[in-house]
Structure 1
Amino acid sequence: MALLVNIGHDGWYRDTELADELRRIMPTVDIRTLANPGDLTEVTVLAVSKLDPDLPARLPNLALVQKLGAGVETIVAHPAIAPHVQVARLKPLEPAREIAEYCLAYVLQGQRNIAAHAASQARTAWEPLAPKQSHKTRVGVLGLGHIGGLTAALMRDLGFEVHGWSRSPKQIEGVRCHHGAEALEPMLNLCDYICAILPSTTETRGLINAQTLAAMKPGATFINAGRGDLVDETALIAALDQGRPGHAVLDVLCTEPLPAQDPLWQHPNVTITPHVSGWHLGNALEDVMENYRRLTAGEPLLHAVDRKRGY
């Protein structure tokens, strides 16, 4: 048995770097990269961030695809992965905290009028503006799973009035939880900031569209740190032109990297970051190796994915 590391894209860990970290956790495990893969028939576990379309066919004894993150939509639907192959994701605390902090950073930017003060400085104008009060500000969180729940709790603990939305009922102390399709638009209309932290599923793709954007509060800030395909980007541009919402912060896009000619780059009411809201895996690498051990021992996996449901 061997574990093959293949990140699948640039701009994050390098394969060799991640393989070295995994070897430090379990030095007796045969851990390889495509730079020196050996006999690929010996590979039973593939650790990936973005799955190469041609790779599964080269691994005839693959038993587990371990996603190095939470989103598994491209893996569960991959036509080359045999039905018996298991899929697992990670639920690490460190990047969840980082995503919550990312959302908070842009909420605080709005609360403290950072962009307005920067514009005043550029004009050499002394223009005091009152900061907004947290207890009078409503922050909405779309998705109340591992990451969304942490984000909602962080906002709550800083004194914001927090509303959360999910498909099924959830309870989080101090958070006003809403659920179901009929509750989404009324909640959007309440909130000054909307933090989207939803997975990509058949139910969430295109959820932020012309209709739901029109339901947002005029001047609100929409922050997407979940999945790019949550948003109809053409509808978003049209909605921003109407001021509903007033600004969009996008860490995830439908196409990544975002093409240079895409109008989102130049829109005055859009902030783009290159998928950096959650970066470090922290102790989640221990879960990768634990799943290798569990697979070998025939035990249930950590954070196993239901491939039919997509999460």
Structure 2
Amino acid sequence: MALLVNVGFDNWFTDEELTAELKALAPDLDIRPMSDAGNLAEVSMLATTVLKSGLPEQLPNLQLVQKLGAGVDSIVAHPSLPPHVRVARLKPNEPAHEIAEFCLAYVLHGQRNIAQHEASQKRSAWEPLAPKRPTHTTVGVLGLGHIGGMTARLMRDLRFRVLGWSRSPKEIEGVDCRHGEAALLQMLGECDYVCAILPSTPATRHLMNEETLAAMKPGATLINAGRGDLIDEAALIAALDKDTPGRAVLDVTSQEPLPAESPLWTHQGVTITPHVSGWHLGDAMKDVVENYRRLEAGSALLYEVDRQRGY
């Protein structure tokens, strides 16, 4: 058995860097980067972020794809991944904290009138503006799993009024948790900021569409740090022109990298960041090693995904 590391895209950690980190944790295991893969028939486990087209066909004895992150939508739906191959994801705390901090950064950007102060400076104008009070501000969090729950608690601890939404009932102390489709529209109308941290599933794709965007509070900010296909981007542009929402912060888009011709780049109500909200894996590499050992032993895997449900 061998573990193959193939990140699948540039501008992050390299295969060799992650392989070295894994080998430091488990020097007894056969762990290889794609650049030195050797006999691919020996590979039983693949650690990846973006599963490249055609790669599964080159791995005849593949048993497990380990996502180096949380979102597995593109892996479970990969057209050449055999149905018997299992999929697992990570639930690391460090990138979850980073995503929560990303959402907070853009909430505070609005609360502290940063854009207005920057505009005043360009005009050499001394124009005091009162910051908005967190106790008078409502932050909504769509998705109350590992990352969304952490985001909701962070906002709560900073004295914001926090509403949480999920498809099934959840309970978080100090957070007004709501669930189901009927509760979504009303909740959106109450929020000054909406932080979307949902996985990509058939039930969440285009959850933010013409109807739900129109239900948002005029001038509100929509922050998407979940999956790009959560938002109907054509409907978003039309909604921004009507000020519902007034602003959108998109760390993820339906196509990545975002094409240069996309109108999202130039819309005055949109801020684009290139999928950087959660970057570091922290101690989650230990879970990759643990899953390799569990696969060898025939034991239950950590964070195995139901491929039918998509999470």
TM-score interval for Structure 1 and Structure 2 normalised by the shorter chain: over 0.9
Cα drift, residue 297 of structure 1 = 0.5
> Residue 200 of structure 2 aligns with which residue?
200
> Residue 227 of structure 1 aligns with which residue?
227
Cα drift, residue 13 of structure 1 = 0.7
Residues of 2 paired with 1:180 and 1:174: CA distance? Answer: 20
Residues of 2 paired with 1:11 and 1:182: CA distance? Answer: 41
Amino acid at match of 2:195: C
Deviations 1:201-226 (A, max 9, x none): 00000000110000000000000000
Deviations 1:129-166 (A, max 9, x none): 00000000000000000000000000000000000000
- 2:63 counterpart of 1:56: no
> Residue 171 of structure 2 aligns with which residue?
171
Length-normalised TM-score, structure 1: 0.99
Cα drift, residue 195 of structure 1 = 0.1
> Residue 33 of structure 1 aligns with which residue?
33
> Residue 245 of structure 2 aligns with which residue?
245
Deviations 1:67-100 (A, max 9, x none): 0001101111122222221100000000000000
* Correspondence 1:199-218 to 2 at 5 A: 199-218=199-218
> Residue 287 of structure 1 aligns with which residue?
287
Residues of 1 paired with 2:272 and 2:78: CA distance? Answer: 28
> Residue 122 of structure 1 aligns with which residue?
122
Residues of 1 paired with 2:238 and 2:178: CA distance? Answer: 27
Residues of 2 paired with 1:102 and 1:211: CA distance? Answer: 27
Residues of 2 paired with 1:257 and 1:140: CA distance? Answer: 27
Structure 1: gaps (5+ residues): none
> Residue 96 of structure 2 aligns with which residue?
96
Deviations 1:154-195 (A, max 9, x none): 000000000000000000000000100010010000000000
* Correspondence 1:259-298 to 2 at 5 A: 259-298=259-298
Helix, strand or coil at the partner of 2:274? coil
> Residue 158 of structure 1 aligns with which residue?
158
Residues of 2 paired with 1:250 and 1:280: CA distance? Answer: 19
What is the root-mean-square deviation in Å for CA atoms of aligned residues? 0.6
Residues of 2 paired with 1:195 and 1:247: CA distance? Answer: 12
Residues of 2 paired with 1:117 and 1:255: CA distance? Answer: 33
> Residue 15 of structure 2 aligns with which residue?
15
Residues of 1 paired with 2:149 and 2:20: CA distance? Answer: 32
Helix, strand or coil at the partner of 1:62? coil
Residues of 2 paired with 1:127 and 1:243: CA distance? Answer: 24
Residues of 2 paired with 1:80 and 1:264: CA distance? Answer: 32
> Residue 66 of structure 1 aligns with which residue?
66
**Fraction of identical pairs, as percent:** 69
Length-normalised TM-score, structure 2: 0.99
Q: Runs ≥4 in structure 1, deviation > 2 angstroms?
A: none
Residues of 1 paired with 2:258 and 2:298: CA distance? Answer: 42
